[in-house]
Amino acid sequence: MISKVGRNWVVIDFRSRPKFQLSCFCRERSGFVSNPSVDTNWPLVWASLAVVLVLTLCIANVANANLITNGDFYSGTLSGWESSSSNTSVIDCQHIPLIYDNIGDFTEWESRMDGTFAFIEGGDFLTTKTDPVSGSSVFTLSLDYAVAWTNPTGLNPGGYFYIQTIGEIGSLKRSLSYTEINWRAVEGLENDIFTGTLFTQNFIQWPDLMFDDISVQIGVFNPNQTLTQIVGIDNINLSVMPVPEPSTLLLVGFGLAFFVRYSWQEKQKFEAKGRTTQKGEA
């Protein structure tokens, strides 16, 4: 089979297997000059590539499954969550109480809240726990939020909510991440509606610090009880990515080094045979 690649013609002879002959013809002003055949052990090449690919996939094996139970509230309930009061319910944007219509247009909420979500009036605490994860791991926590508030008092109060992850080892508790969103009534701003996606700082679990449980806590506060505020929380996701063991990294390194070395040797053989042919023709 003869094909053209750029300025070069390539002749491939499939009659000798598992090796085939590869001849290149370089176009010059005087015509075509034949370079010598190069024997390429393609089964070995493909085997090397397969080893590198498999090991790379092992390192990149990310457990994208959400560790949070009912983090999207599609169940229509607070199943899997503990609430400190009756201020939290699960609704969709079509069922936001009419008493909050005076705050403004909730179109932004509808674009952020995906179906049913946790609807918090005033303030509350929501807590859930995940199953333990073995091995060294990197955790990432995210959620979608929507906030609406109005200030009927004329004062300058504020509110906020936070999300925190806590690692538990026996009776000991350790804060792993903490992120806060706050708002405040100021002169000229008596109500507001805003939404967003929040990502907390990643945290790592090491072999010498294995958690029995990881808790996720969401707190909504109205400190002076002067704001009329509501908060929507949805799509809470706690994902984990295993950290490769040193032995795995070493194995991948050997595989890549072998492939680079093999490629370099093939290149040297090709160039050496090319020089020999050119001398013979001269």
Look at residues 146, 42, 131 and name the one whose alpha carbon lies nearest to residue 92: 146
pTM, rounded to two decimals: 0.66
Higher per-residue pLDDT: 117 or 244: 117
233 falls in which pLDDT band (50, 70, 90)? very high
Task: Classify the C-alpha dihedral 63-65-67-71 as positive or negative.
Answer: positive
What's the average model confidence in pLDDT over 209-219? 88
Q: 202 or 146: which carries more pLDDT confidence?
A: 146
- Flag whether pLDDT at 164 surpasses 90: yes
Most confident of 14-18, 62-66, 222-226, 256-260: 222-226
How far from 52 is each of 7, 33, 78, 248, 264, CA to CA, in Å?
32, 36, 45, 11, 17
Q: Which positions ≥6 away from 205 have C-beta within 8 Å?
A: 133, 135, 136, 137, 139, 167, 211
Asked whether residue 97 carries a pLDDT value surpassing 70, the answer given is yes
pLDDT at 35: 46
Is residue 265 over pLDDT 80? no
Mean pLDDT across the chain: 76
Q: What is the pLDDT of residues 60-87, one digit of tens each?
A: 554 456 789 899 999 999 999 999 999 9
Q: How far is CA 29 from CA 2, 6, 26, 32, 262, in A?
A: 21, 16, 10, 8, 34
CA dihedral 121, 125, 126, 132 (to 10 degrees): 170
Please give the pLDDT value at position 148: 95
pLDDT digits (tens, 9 = 90+) for 176-206: 899 999 998 877 778 899 999 999 878 777 7
What does the pLDDT look like over 101-135, one tens digit per residue?
989 899 999 999 989 999 999 999 999 998 777 77
Tell me, what's the pLDDT at 189? 78
For residues 187 and 27, which has the higher predicted lDDT (pLDDT)?
187
**pLDDT for residue 36 is more than 60:** no
For residues 274 and 282, give the distance between their C-alpha atoms in angstroms, rounded to a whole number: 12
Q: Residue 27 — very low, low, confident or very high, per pLDDT cuts 50/70/90?
A: very low
